[in-house]
Protein backbone atom coordinates (compact mmCIF):
# COMPACT_ATOMS: atom_id res chain seq x y z
CA UNK A 1 0.00 0.00 0.00
CA UNK A 2 1.11 3.55 -0.60
CA UNK A 3 1.45 6.21 2.12
CA UNK A 4 -2.10 7.48 1.62
CA UNK A 5 -3.49 3.95 2.00
CA UNK A 6 -1.26 3.36 5.05
CA UNK A 7 -2.66 6.51 6.65
CA UNK A 8 -6.24 5.49 5.83
CA UNK A 9 -5.68 2.02 7.25
CA UNK A 10 -4.28 3.44 10.50
CA UNK A 11 -7.04 6.03 10.75
CA UNK A 12 -9.76 3.41 10.31
CA UNK A 13 -8.06 1.17 12.84
CA UNK A 14 -7.87 4.03 15.35
CA UNK A 15 -11.54 4.86 14.85
CA UNK A 16 -12.48 1.35 15.92
CA UNK A 17 -10.15 0.83 18.87
CA UNK A 18 -11.51 0.83 22.40
CA UNK A 19 -10.13 1.54 25.87
CA UNK A 20 -7.13 -0.59 26.75
CA UNK A 21 -6.21 -1.35 23.13
CA UNK A 22 -2.51 -1.82 22.42
CA UNK A 23 -1.12 -1.78 18.88
CA UNK A 24 2.37 -3.27 18.60
CA UNK A 25 4.23 -2.01 15.52
CA UNK A 26 7.25 -3.68 13.99
CA UNK A 27 9.26 -2.94 10.87
CA UNK A 28 12.58 -1.60 9.70
CA UNK A 29 13.77 1.93 10.30
CA UNK A 30 11.79 4.32 8.08
CA UNK A 31 9.16 1.75 7.06
CA UNK A 32 6.24 3.89 8.24
CA UNK A 33 5.64 3.04 11.91
CA UNK A 34 5.39 6.69 12.98
CA UNK A 35 3.15 7.50 10.01
CA UNK A 36 0.89 4.62 11.05
CA UNK A 37 0.87 5.79 14.69
CA UNK A 38 -0.07 9.32 13.57
CA UNK A 39 -2.94 7.86 11.54
CA UNK A 40 -4.21 5.81 14.50
CA UNK A 41 -4.20 9.03 16.54
CA UNK A 42 -6.15 10.80 13.79
CA UNK A 43 -8.70 8.00 13.87
CA UNK A 44 -9.11 8.61 17.58
CA UNK A 45 -9.72 12.29 16.89
CA UNK A 46 -6.42 13.53 18.35
CA UNK A 47 -5.97 17.15 17.30
CA UNK A 48 -2.42 17.76 18.56
CA UNK A 49 0.55 17.22 16.27
CA UNK A 50 1.73 13.67 16.88
CA UNK A 51 5.52 13.34 16.78
CA UNK A 52 7.84 10.41 17.32
CA UNK A 53 8.83 10.02 20.98
CA UNK A 54 12.21 8.49 20.07
CA UNK A 55 14.12 10.44 22.72
CA UNK A 56 11.37 10.77 25.34
CA UNK A 57 10.10 7.17 24.82
CA UNK A 58 6.46 8.21 25.27
CA UNK A 59 4.14 11.04 24.27
CA UNK A 60 0.63 11.46 25.67
CA UNK A 61 -2.29 13.06 23.85
CA UNK A 62 -5.64 13.78 25.49
CA UNK A 63 -7.62 15.56 22.75
CA UNK A 64 -9.20 12.48 21.14
CA UNK A 65 -12.21 10.41 22.14
CA UNK A 66 -9.76 8.32 24.23
CA UNK A 67 -6.32 9.16 25.57
CA UNK A 68 -3.60 8.21 23.05
CA UNK A 69 -0.22 7.00 24.26
CA UNK A 70 2.60 6.73 21.73
CA UNK A 71 5.70 4.75 22.74
CA UNK A 72 8.87 4.52 20.65
CA UNK A 73 11.23 2.07 22.33
CA UNK A 74 13.91 2.07 19.61
CA UNK A 75 16.53 3.41 22.04
CA UNK A 76 15.94 0.63 24.57
CA UNK A 77 18.08 -2.50 24.28
CA UNK A 78 16.36 -5.46 22.69
CA UNK A 79 15.17 -8.06 25.16
CA UNK A 80 18.05 -10.44 25.76
CA UNK A 81 20.66 -7.72 25.07
CA UNK A 82 20.42 -6.09 28.50
CA UNK A 83 24.02 -7.08 29.25
CA UNK A 84 25.09 -4.56 26.60
CA UNK A 85 24.09 -1.65 28.81
CA UNK A 86 20.54 -1.31 30.00
CA UNK A 87 17.58 -3.07 31.50
CA UNK A 88 14.59 -2.81 29.22
CA UNK A 89 12.04 -4.09 31.76
CA UNK A 90 13.33 -1.72 34.45
CA UNK A 91 13.25 1.26 32.08
CA UNK A 92 9.70 0.41 31.01
CA UNK A 93 8.69 -0.01 34.67
CA UNK A 94 10.11 3.46 35.39
CA UNK A 95 7.79 4.80 32.69
CA UNK A 96 4.85 3.09 34.37
CA UNK A 97 4.07 1.06 31.24
CA UNK A 98 1.39 -1.04 32.94
CA UNK A 99 -0.79 2.03 33.55
CA UNK A 100 -0.65 2.75 29.82
CA UNK A 101 -0.96 -0.81 28.51
CA UNK A 102 -3.79 -1.77 30.86
CA UNK A 103 -5.49 1.63 31.27
CA UNK A 104 -8.40 3.33 29.57
CA UNK A 105 -6.56 4.75 26.57
CA UNK A 106 -5.14 3.46 23.30
CA UNK A 107 -1.42 2.71 23.18
CA UNK A 108 0.76 2.35 20.08
CA UNK A 109 4.25 0.93 20.59
CA UNK A 110 6.84 1.38 17.85
CA UNK A 111 9.64 -1.24 17.84
CA UNK A 112 7.34 -3.43 19.94
CA UNK A 113 9.50 -6.51 19.39
CA UNK A 114 12.00 -4.93 21.83
CA UNK A 115 9.45 -5.16 24.67
CA UNK A 116 7.34 -8.08 23.47
CA UNK A 117 7.27 -9.89 26.82
CA UNK A 118 5.84 -6.78 28.51
CA UNK A 119 2.94 -6.29 26.10
CA UNK A 120 -0.58 -7.52 26.83
CA UNK A 121 -1.39 -10.90 25.34
CA UNK A 122 -4.18 -9.36 23.24
CA UNK A 123 -2.04 -6.61 21.68
CA UNK A 124 -2.68 -6.16 17.96
CA UNK A 125 0.63 -6.81 16.15
CA UNK A 126 1.15 -4.97 12.86
CA UNK A 127 4.30 -5.33 10.76
CA UNK A 128 5.16 -2.72 8.13
CA UNK A 129 7.72 -3.82 5.56
CA UNK A 130 9.43 -2.38 2.53
CA UNK A 131 8.58 -3.78 -0.90
CA UNK A 132 10.49 -3.73 -4.18
CA UNK A 133 8.68 -0.45 -4.94
CA UNK A 134 10.11 2.29 -2.66
CA UNK A 135 6.71 4.02 -2.54
CA UNK A 136 4.81 0.96 -1.33
CA UNK A 137 4.71 -0.94 1.96
CA UNK A 138 3.44 -4.36 2.89
CA UNK A 139 1.32 -4.24 6.05
CA UNK A 140 0.61 -7.50 7.83
CA UNK A 141 -1.46 -8.30 10.87
CA UNK A 142 0.47 -10.90 12.85
CA UNK A 143 -2.25 -11.96 15.30
CA UNK A 144 -3.75 -15.41 15.09
CA UNK A 145 -6.84 -16.71 16.87
CA UNK A 146 -8.77 -19.97 16.81
CA UNK A 147 -11.14 -18.31 14.33
CA UNK A 148 -8.35 -17.02 12.09
CA UNK A 149 -6.25 -13.87 12.19
CA UNK A 150 -7.41 -10.53 13.47
CA UNK A 151 -7.87 -8.47 10.34
CA UNK A 152 -8.62 -4.99 11.60
CA UNK A 153 -9.80 -2.25 9.29
CA UNK A 154 -8.81 -2.77 5.70
CA UNK A 155 -8.06 0.23 3.51
CA UNK A 156 -10.62 1.33 0.96
CA UNK A 157 -10.57 -0.90 -2.08
CA UNK A 158 -8.91 -3.85 -0.34
CA UNK A 159 -10.15 -7.14 -1.62
CA UNK A 160 -11.35 -10.04 0.47
CA UNK A 161 -14.01 -12.65 0.31
CA UNK A 162 -16.65 -11.13 2.58
CA UNK A 163 -18.41 -7.93 3.53
CA UNK A 164 -16.23 -5.33 5.21
CA UNK A 165 -15.97 -6.09 8.90
CA UNK A 166 -15.38 -3.83 11.89
CA UNK A 167 -11.93 -3.48 13.44
CA UNK A 168 -10.83 -6.63 15.16
CA UNK A 169 -13.17 -8.89 13.20
CA UNK A 170 -11.97 -12.38 12.60
CA UNK A 171 -12.03 -13.91 9.18
CA UNK A 172 -10.75 -17.18 7.79
CA UNK A 173 -10.32 -15.58 4.36
CA UNK A 174 -7.10 -13.78 5.32
CA UNK A 175 -4.20 -15.96 6.36
CA UNK A 176 -1.59 -15.09 8.98
CA UNK A 177 1.02 -12.85 7.41
CA UNK A 178 -1.07 -11.97 4.36
CA UNK A 179 -0.81 -8.43 3.14
CA UNK A 180 -3.77 -6.16 3.85
Q: What is the pLDDT of residues 71-93, one digit of tens each?
A: 999 887 676 655 445 677 778 88
How far is it, in rounded angstroms, from Cα 56 to Cα 147? Answer: 38
Identify whether 89 is part of a domain.
Answer: yes
Q: What is the pLDDT of residues 107-131, one digit of tens each?
A: 999 999 988 888 999 999 999 999 9
Identify whether 164 is part of a domain.
Answer: no
Smallest Cα–Cα separation from 21: which of 60, 67, 61? 67
Identify whether 159 is part of a domain.
Answer: no
Torsion of CA 45, 105, 171, 128, to 10 degrees: 70
CA distances from 163 to 12, 13, 16, 23, 173 (A): 16, 17, 17, 24, 11
Higher pLDDT, residue 81 or 41:
41
Identify whether 75 is part of a domain.
Answer: yes
- Full domain range(s) for residue 73: 3-149
Identify whether 178 is part of a domain.
Answer: no
Range 155-177 average pLDDT: 35
Range 88-102 average pLDDT: 84
Q: Where are the alpha helices (DSSP H) in 27-177?
A: 33-43, 88-95, 97-101
Q: What is the pLDDT of residue 55?
A: 78
Identify whether 103 is part of a domain.
Answer: yes
Q: What is the pLDDT of residue 67?
A: 97
* Residue 154 pLDDT exceeds 50: no
Q: What percent of the chain has pLDDT over 70?
A: 74
Identify whether 118 is part of a domain.
Answer: yes
CB crowding 56-69: b at 16 or more within 10 Å, else e? ebbbebeebebbbb
Provide the domain count of the chain: 1
75: CATH = 3.40.50.300
CB neighbourhood size of 9 (10 A): 26
Identify whether 38 is part of a domain.
Answer: yes
Amino acid sequence: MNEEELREYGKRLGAGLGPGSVVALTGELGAGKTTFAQAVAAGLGVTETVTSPTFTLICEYESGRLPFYHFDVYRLPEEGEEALGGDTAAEMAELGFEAYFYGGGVTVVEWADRVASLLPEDALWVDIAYTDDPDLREVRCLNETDDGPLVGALPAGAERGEEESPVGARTADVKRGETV
